[in-house]
Structure 1
Amino acid sequence: MLVGNKSDLRHLRAVPTDEAKSFAEKNGLSFIETSALDSTNVETAFHSSLAGWGP
């Protein structure tokens, strides 16, 4: 999983969303953008990354 953090700071973005999505797709990864500031997708990212773990 590729997680883009600080999605609330779009004006400071170092990697465009489309580029990150493309990289994730080419490398067989899921992609999600998160923001801890406003809690956007944080819980979803944790649940998604843990879904493949366990007995």
Structure 2
Amino acid sequence: KTTVFLKNMSNFSAFNKAYAEYFTEEFPARSCIEVARLPKDAEIEIEAIAICD
């Protein structure tokens, strides 16, 4: 599952296009949240939880 934090939700379309380059099969469960600020003035932060076999 990924949780995506965007400073500006209007960037969601561009983010979604880039995201699809890394997840070409089925997308993992995902939440997307607009936030006021991120560390170091980043535009995006992605938190991921995965199970490795």
TM-score, structure 1 as length reference:
0.31
Point out the structure with the larger strand share.
2
Greater RCO, CA 8 A, separation 6+ = 2
Q: Which has the larger share of helix?
A: 1
